[in-house]
Amino acid sequence: MERRILVVDDNPMFRELEAIFLAGSGEVITAESGSIGLELARRHRPHVMIVDLDMPDLAGDAVCREVKNDPELRDVPVVLITNADDAADRERSVRAGADDVLTKPINRISLIQSVNRFIRYSEVRGLKRVPMVAPVKLGPDGTGIEGVSRDVSRGGMMVEFDAHFDSSSEVELHFALPEPASAPLRPTAKVIWRRHEGSRSSIGLQFLSLDGTGARQIDEFVYERSAIAESTR
């Protein structure tokens, strides 16, 4: 059975571009507004929805909440598309329950990989993550507890500490990708799991506020490291 992908965007150019990018992944249907997108979702039961965050009649985060609160649609993955440089847009998307968040301008490879993650496997697979050892500080202005990252994905990272870590639900991060010219990144993040082994703590973090530049830096870092790892197998 061919997989059905619903693209919802009030901008005809972005709607058409995304449909072209995803033509090889399944049957693409489109909607020009959030309300029409919800109507088509209930009628066609898509395998994944790609929804623009900012639409005039019904915003993408509202669409996502409607989907996640609908007993017949709640299992449909929703990928929200945000504006390029607004860190608050990502936070809106994550808090709405988005299964993935991408930024404009849309990267074709990232979009295809995101959709294929939801439609090509019997179980949804996590975001691609790669090893990354780098110092990380948790706390305002980088003055809090110090740790070391172990891996990173577009959606978050794992951090270890040589101390017992009693976390709040959300933290401010300060770190840089291990590249010579990489600028510091300062997203906020939500603690989604914790593990303690003796005096050592590990936490899993989901990024909340993260601007488009930072998201693209992480995306490119993960893609390049993944390509290198695959080429050496």
- Per residue in 193-208, pLDDT (tens digit) is 999 888 889 999 999 9
Q: How much is the pLDDT for 150?
A: 96
Q: Where are the alpha helices (DSSP H) in the chain?
A: 12-21, 34-44, 60-69, 87-95, 108-119, 212-231
Where along the chain do the CATH 3.40.50.2300 domains lie? 4-119
Is the pLDDT confidence value at 168 over 80? no
pLDDT tens, 85-144?
A: 788 999 999 999 999 999 988 889 999 999 998 987 655 567 889 999 999 998 876 567
User: What is the architecture, at CATH level 2, of domain 129-229?
Assistant: Beta Barrel (2.40)
The pLDDT-based confidence of 229 (bands split at 50, 70, 90) is: low
- β-pairing, 188-197 vs 170-174, is antiparallel
pLDDT tens, 17-54?
A: 999 999 999 999 999 999 999 999 999 999 999 999 99
CATH number of 4-119, picked from 3.65.10.10, 3.40.50.740, 3.40.50.1000, 3.40.50.2300: 3.40.50.2300
Listed residue (113, 106, 105, 104) closest to 25, CA to CA: 113
Side chain identity at residue 194, one-letter code:
R
Positive or negative, the Cα torsion across 143, 144, 145, 151? negative
Count Cβ atoms below 10 Å from residue 178 Cβ, excluding itself: 13
Where along the chain do the CATH 2.40.10.220 domains lie? 129-229
Q: How much is the pLDDT for 180?
A: 65
Q: How much is the pLDDT for 124?
A: 56
Q: Which pTM value belongs to this model? A: 0.86
Average pLDDT, the chain: 90
